Structures are given as structure tokens and as C-alpha cells.
Amino acid sequence: MQTPETTLAQELPDSSTTDQSGAVSVVGPPRVNPIVSFLVKPAATAILAVMVVFIYFSLTTTGFDSAAGIANWLDPAATLGTVCAMFALLMISGNIDLSSGVAIGTTGVVMGLLATQAHWPVPLAMLGALVVALAIGLTNGLAVVKTGLHSFIVTLAMFFALQGLNVGITILVNKPPDTGGPVPATALVVAGIRDAPGYALPQLILGSSIPIAGAQFQISIVWWILLTLLASWVLLRTKYGNWIQCIGGNTPAARATGIPVGRTKVALFVGTSLAAWLVGMETALRLGSAQPSEGFGLELQFIIASVVGGCLLFGGHGSVVGAALGAVTFGMVSLGITYAKWPGEIYYLFLGVMLFVAVLANTVVRRRLMRGV
Amino acid sequence: MAVVEQTASADHPPDGIGELDQVTVVESERVSPLVRLLLKPAATALMAAVVVFVFFSLAGSAFGTLAGIANWLAPSAEIGTVAACVALLMIGGEFDLSAGIAIGTTGVTMALLATHFHWPVPAAMLGALVVAVVIGLTNGTLVVTTGLPSFIVTLAMFFSLQGLNVGVSTWLSGNVVVFGVNNAAGFAIPHTLFGSTISIGSAQLQISVLWWIVVTLVASWILLRTRYGNWIQCIGGNVLAARATGIPIGRTKIALFIATSCAAWLVGMETALRLGSAQANEGLGLELQFVVAAVVGGCLLFGGHGSIIGTALGALVFGMIQLGITYARWPAQMYLLFLGIMLFLAVLTNTLVRRRLLRGT
């Protein structure tokens, strides 16, 4: 517990009023070696990972560091990173949301069905999906707060429920002919959003791409950066950020100081669902169709990106910018593997090794460094 | 355990739940039998199994027949065999997210050894067993030596194996499915032992169901009747007390991780021998269903308390729902919706009802 407290104090000089013992290390002369003080930052591992991965693929493949290459790997990074910005805040508060991946598919399918089956204009259908996202976040948050069950269990239940609903409802609406065999692929997609009324403007805002230096950068990258900056500002510069860290670090203390623990947690779950909604809209508007399986499996990658970015698994400490860098690392690797012509599944092997090394570096190395300080 | 008892008797007004548990056991004559049944960790799973069975028997005509029962026991056995060991691991306070994909890893290893390297099938199975032991040993040793949460360590193993399964099988056989195990030397006897079916009347019961029962009984016996079971519960309930009483924590945990991988190996062998081929993605996604079965069966998420029989009932419920959905002619994926609702209700009942009942006694 010594470690996160001291690191926090170094990161947040303005919080020194709350922690006298931590303030000493901030106020005192810079006796700490600058390399050590960098390595102790939560985002340090992620920064190193980004640099190593970028240099490696730039040297060994052609086109990875070109404008087109960068635009390519920033695209999956934005998908991961947009949800990760909120997911990191949630993790810092000591909770996780395993339903945040499939919620991308849920919101996309809801929007697609409202636009193509109920013939709502696309902006209205997006609002309908937003309501669903709010309901998912509220349900998760209230269930965690009211029952006192661990968020792992509550959101795992939501994960299964949404996964079943996504595919089940899509099939029920598409009504494929009962051949007795497997469901045809055409029945597992909500198509035709492109032809719905009012598609053009939302597509421009959320699903278009911007030409820069001859490469097509997805507009989702802009949304990702905006959301990361917003979440990081909330964490580092507002009282809500202090609340979040306090809840994750020591819930009884947070309750004792009068922090509205329940409301803050519910808000964080809702924030995570809304981020999933944003990604769901971006994907559905870009492709003009929605897949019920969209986002499935990403929930674990959100955890990894956040943990690589310096978030502790059980809360109290972490960095939103670090989580964004974690997302960049995974975007780079998923595309770099294609550039290097390796089999795509090696991505998962890398993900596993990276997770282990990063967590080890984050916890063990930092523990050792702090002892030296 | 000795320490807990002593403190409970020393300062007499006990306030922890674990100590209250002991009080209810000691003063059993004052507690009504219904409350005592509900307090058992397996109670929720038992009720769930009865409710689900009655529901689908009324909804789908073939569900309650002998053939129907044999049908839904097969997926139950797949989940239940590994879940029995996952439950022990969870009672010991650890997770194994790599237990699902390890089914694919062992299957692919066996199939590649048998078809690509032309080992006889029994030798190939031993080779796969070595791989399973290595996976469990790696998980356990890393958790024990680094002190990282097992959630992280086994998540890393999960991703690594997922990548390796597909990578290695495409590299050696050019496909994500390794075919031809049924044409390899020495296929017949292992197939009879692990992959055959038994005719009972008109129903075809898979032999994996018998293995599931054996694994469940052994695991339950270990938990309830041996000192290792006490060790596991003590480690999961209170590591410091376990260390103070001299329990070999590290060795016990590593053994539990190895047991879990070996259970995954058993299911991997059953599947590969039944189908005559091995899929790289076999078992992917099951890791969370094992956890759910264990939790529905009364295991606490962070250890110290649970039931192997309850876990088996949890697995039974999932097999029933999975097949029941098909019998009721709903889209198969609705299974997952039921799984989610079931999980939430079961955990809620397990914790809230037990909390309230304990307060009442």
C-alpha cells in the first residue's frame, strides 16, 4: 500500500493537503533520480512498450511507419482506446465491466434494428441505442451498489445476457428459413443502415475518414483522443477524480469522508456503457450494418490495455493516458503482425506475453524501485 | 482450522460469518432443517436444477425422456469435469482463465503428435498430458513466485494458448482443425475408454458422463474427507492463518493449477477421440462458464467456501438449458441469456439469502 500512495503524491502535487507524509517527497529536494521517477509513473511501462513495438515493426517491415500505416494501426487502437478511457476510470474505482465489449454489439444492433425495421431516422435510432446503453450501465451499477456483489459477477451475468440477446434477437428479426442446419451468415447481421433516412450526417460525424498526407484516418481516432483527454482531466484535475481514486483505494475511508460512493460507481458504469455506445455507432455507421458479435472478446482486451497502462487490477491507482498508450500498443501489434506476414493469431500470443511482462514490470519493478527511493 | 476454532471459543461473542457458521453447526438442534438445507452451498444449484428440469420437461416433449437426458448430460459433462477442479481452485482463492482453451491445446497437441509425428495414440495422449502439466505448473509457479493475481497470470496464459493453438496447428497441418486422429495407430482402445457411447435402452450415453462423475466424486472426497481439503479451504479463507499453521500454501496452489489443467486434458482427449479430430478453438469461452458453474454451485468468488457437488449441479443446469433451448426451438444463442440471468439470480440467492438466514439463527 506504500507504493501507490507515494506515487499518487508525486503525480498529484495539488493533493498534498490531504496527505502530509506523501507531500514530503514532493516538497523535498529532487533527490530522486529522474529515470526512477519516470519508471515509477503508472504509464511508464506503456510508454516503453509503445516505443519498443513501434521501432521493432518500423525496422522489420515496410510501410508500418508511413502515413497509411499509422492510419491503419490507429484504427483498432481507437476502437480499444475509446472504451478503455472509461474502463480505466472504472478500474481505478475498483470495479470492472465485462459487458463493455458485447455492449458495442448490442448498441449497434439496437440502432440498426430501429433504423431498418422500425424505420426510425438514424439520429433517432442512435438515441434509442443510447437509452439502451444507459439502461445497461445503470443496471450494472445499481446491481453492484445495491446487492454488494462483486462487479466481476454482475457484469459477467450482463455479458452472457447481452451476448445471448444480441444474436437471439437478430435471428428472430431476420427469420432465416429453418433448414435444420447452422444459421446462415446473412441472418447474423443487421444490414441496410446505409439506406435508412438521415444516414448521411451521423455517418459524417462518427463513421467517416479524414485524408491526411495521402492516408485515410478514421474519424473515430479524433473521438478517442477527445474522450481520453476528457477522462484524464476528470481523473487528474477534478474532485471526481479524487473520489474515484479514493473509492478504489479505500472504500471505507471514502464513505467516511462523505464521498457519494454509490452514485460515483453508477456514473462510472454508465460512462463505460456510453463509451461502448460510441464505438458501436462508429462501427455501424462506417460499415452501414451491425453485427451482433461485434465487440465480443474485447472486454478482456480493455482490461489488458488498462493494466498495461498502469491500472491496478483491484483499483486505487492508474492512468487514463497509460490506458490509451496500452491501446496504441495493441493496435500496433495487431496490424504489425499483418505487415510482418505472421499468422494473425500470433496477436493473442503477443497479448498474453505482453500482459504478463507489463504487469510484472508495473508491480515488481516499481516495488523494487520505490524501496530504493 | 484449529486457530479459527480456538479464537471462536476464546472470545465468546463471535462476530465473523465463518464463526457464525460454526455456531450453527454446533447448535444444530435449534435450527430448522429447512434453514439448514438452504444454508448448504449447493442449495441454490439444487433448486435451480429442479426448476430448470421441470420447466423444460413441460416445454419440450423429448426433454424428459431417457434419450433427452443422455443428450443434455453430454454438455454438462464437458463443463462439469473441468469445473470440479476449477471449484477446488476457487475455494483455494485462485482463478484459472486458461482452463477452457487448454482443452483445445491438449487436443491439438495429441492430434498433431498422432497424425503429424505418427506417434501411437496412447503415447500422443501422454505427450498432451505432459503439456497440460507444464501449463498448470507454469500458471501455479508464476502465481506463487510473483505474487501477481491469478486472474492476470492465467489471462496471459489464456491469450498465449489461444495464439499458439491456431498458430501451431496451421503451421504444422495447414488447418485450424487437425484431422485423421481416427486413422492413427492405437486409436481403438483410447476411443473406447474416452470417446465412446454406451447404449442404455434407446438412449446413447457418452462415456464422458462417467468420467465427469468420477472426477466430481474424487474432488468432493478430497475437499470434504482429506486434510488437503482443509488446507484448500483454509488457504482460500485466510492465507495468513494458513501460513501460520504451517500449511504448504505454494505447493497446494500449484497442485490445484495442475489438477485443473489435467481436467482440461481429460476433456480435450474425450472430445478429440470422440470426433476423431481436434479443433484449435475447442474450449474457447468455456473458462467463464466453469467459473459460473462453480459460483452457482455455491463457491465464493474469492475463495474459502464452496461445494463440488454444487458445482456439478451447476454444470447440470447449464447442460439442461443448452439443450432445452434447442428442444424449445429458440435460437441456440438464447442459452447465454439464460446463463446470465441464472448466474445473477444464483449468486444473489447464495449471498443475500445466506446472509439473512445467518442473521436470523
SS (HEC) of B242-255: HHHCCCCHHHHHHH
d(CA B151, nearest CA chain A) in Å: 9
d(CA B334, CA A164): 5
Which residues in chain B have their CB less than 8 angstroms from residue A353's CB?
156, 160
Which residues in chain B have their CB less than 8 angstroms from residue A304's CB?
155, 159
Q: What is the DSSP letter of A364?
A: I
Which residues in chain A have their CB less than 8 angstroms from residue B148's CB?
359-360, 363
Instruction: Look at B333 and A359 and tell me if their CB atoms are within 8 Å.
Output: no
Instruction: Look at A345 and B170 and tell me if their CB atoms are within 8 Å.
Output: yes
Instruction: Look at B344 and A154 and tell me if their CB atoms are within 8 Å.
Output: yes
Which residues in chain B have their CB less than 8 angstroms from residue A183's CB?
331
What does each C-alpha distance from B57 to B79, B203, B328 come to in angstroms?
A: 22, 17, 10
Interface probe for B, chosen from A153, A169, A175, A188 (most Cβ of B below 10 Å), is: A153
Interface probe for B, chosen from A139, A356, A364 (most Cβ of B below 10 Å), is: A356
Task: Specify the amino acid at residue B191.
Answer: H
Specify the pLDDT at position B357: 64
Instruction: Look at B334 and A164 and tell me if their CB atoms are within 8 Å.
Output: yes
Q: Could you read off the pLDDT of A343-371 as tens digits, one per residue?
A: 777 888 888 888 888 888 777 766 766 66
Answer yes or no: are the C-beta atoms of A342 and B171 closer than 8 Å. no
Which residues in chain B have their CB less than 8 angstroms from residue A300's CB?
155, 158-159
Instruction: Look at A360 and B158 and tell me if their CB atoms are within 8 Å.
Output: no
Answer yes or no: are the C-beta atoms of A199 and A299 closer than 8 Å. no
> Tens place of pLDDT for every residue, chain B, 361 residues?
333 333 333 333 333 344 444 444 444 456 677 777 777 778 888 888 998 899 888 876 678 888 888 989 999 999 999 999 999 999 999 999 999 999 999 999 999 999 999 999 999 999 999 999 999 999 999 999 988 889 989 999 999 999 999 989 988 888 889 998 989 999 999 999 999 999 888 888 999 999 999 999 999 999 999 999 999 999 998 899 999 999 999 999 999 999 999 999 999 999 999 999 999 989 998 998 999 899 888 888 888 888 999 999 999 998 998 888 888 777 777 888 888 888 888 888 877 766 766 676 5
Which residues in chain A have their CB less than 8 angstroms from residue B157's CB?
352
Question: CA nearest B89: which of B41, B40, B155, B139?
Answer: B139
Specify the pLDDT at position A262: 95
- Return the residue of B nearest to A139 by Cα: B344
Instruction: Look at A345 and B163 and tell me if their CB atoms are within 8 Å.
Output: yes
Instruction: Look at A343 and B166 and tell me if their CB atoms are within 8 Å.
Output: yes
Which residues in chain A have their CB less than 8 angstroms from residue B347's CB?
149, 153, 157
d(CA A201, nearest CA chain B) in Å: 34
Nearest to B340 among A159, A347, A359 (CB): A159
Specify the pLDDT at position B353: 67
Specify the pLDDT at position A172: 86
Q: Is B109 helix (H, G, I), strand (E, B) or coil?
A: helix
> Tens place of pLDDT for every residue, chain A, 373 residues?
334 444 444 444 443 344 444 444 444 455 667 777 777 777 888 888 899 999 999 998 888 888 999 999 999 999 999 999 999 999 999 999 999 999 999 999 999 999 999 999 999 999 999 999 999 999 999 999 998 888 998 999 999 999 999 988 998 888 877 666 667 777 788 998 999 999 999 999 999 999 988 889 999 999 999 999 999 999 999 999 999 999 998 999 999 999 999 999 999 999 999 999 999 999 999 999 999 989 998 998 999 899 888 888 888 888 999 999 999 999 999 899 888 888 777 888 888 888 888 888 777 766 766 665 5
Give the ranges where chain B is alpha helix by DSSP (H): 2-10, 17-26, 33-39, 43-59, 66-91, 101-115, 121-146, 150-173, 188-190, 208-225, 227-237, 239-244, 249-275, 286-296, 308-327, 334-348, 354-360
d(CA B193, nearest CA chain A) in Å: 30
Which residues in chain B have their CB less than 8 angstroms from residue A146's CB?
none
Which residues in chain A have their CB less than 8 angstroms from residue B295's CB?
153
Average pLDDT, chain A: 86
d(CA A148, nearest CA chain B) in Å: 9
d(CA B2, CA B22): 12
Which residues in chain A have their CB less than 8 angstroms from residue B337's CB?
160-161, 163-165, 168
Q: What is the pTM of this model?
A: 0.84
Instruction: Look at B146 and A364 and tell me if their CB atoms are within 8 Å.
Output: yes
Interface probe for A, chosen from B105, B139, B152, B288 (most Cβ of A below 10 Å), is: B152
Which residues in chain A have their CB less than 8 angstroms from residue B164's CB?
349
d(CA A172, nearest CA chain B) in Å: 8
Specify the pLDDT at position A63: 85
Instruction: Look at B157 and A352 and tell me if their CB atoms are within 8 Å.
Output: yes
Interface probe for A, chosen from B97, B343, B345, B353 (most Cβ of A below 10 Å), is: B343
- Return the residue of A nearest to B342 by Cα: A157
Q: Is B148 helix (H, G, I), strand (E, B) or coil?
A: coil
Specify the pLDDT at position A291: 93
Q: Could you read off the pLDDT of A259-285 as tens digits, one per residue?
A: 999 999 999 999 999 999 999 999 999
d(CA A97, CA A265): 11
Q: Is A190 helix (H, G, I), strand (E, B) or coil?
A: strand
Specify the pLDDT at position B330: 78
Give the ranges where chain A is alpha helix by DSSP (H): 2-11, 20-27, 34-39, 44-60, 67-92, 102-116, 122-147, 151-174, 200-202, 220-237, 239-249, 251-256, 261-287, 298-308, 320-339, 346-360, 366-372
Instruction: Look at B337 and A149 and tell me if their CB atoms are within 8 Å.
Output: no
Nearest to A153 among B166, B301, B334 (CB): B301
Name the CA dihedral angle for A116, A121, A126, A128, rounded to a multiple of 10 degrees. Answer: -80
d(CA B293, CA B236): 18
d(CA A13, nearest CA chain B) in Å: 29
Nearest to A150 among B164, B301, B336 (CB): B301
Which residues in chain B have their CB less than 8 angstroms from residue A150's CB?
301-302
Which residues in chain A have their CB less than 8 angstroms from residue B160's CB?
348-349, 352-353
Answer yes or no: are the C-beta atoms of A279 and A207 closer than 8 Å. no
d(CA A279, CA A284): 9
Specify the pLDDT at position A315: 84
Specify the pLDDT at position A173: 87
Specify the pLDDT at position B293: 92
Which residues in chain A have their CB less than 8 angstroms from residue B339's CB?
160-161, 164
Instruction: Look at B162 and A345 and tell me if their CB atoms are within 8 Å.
Output: yes
Nearest to A168 among B171, B302, B337 (CB): B337
- Which distant-in-sequence residues (6+ apart) come within 8 Å of A190 by Cβ? A108, A109, A112, A113, A116, A170, A173, A174, A289, A290, A291, A292
Q: Could you read off the pLDDT of A11-33 as tens digits, one per residue?
A: 444 433 444 444 444 444 556 67
Answer yes or no: are the C-beta atoms of B273 and B194 closer than 8 Å. yes
Nearest to A353 among B156, B170, B330 (CB): B156
Nearest to A343 among B162, B170, B301 (CB): B170
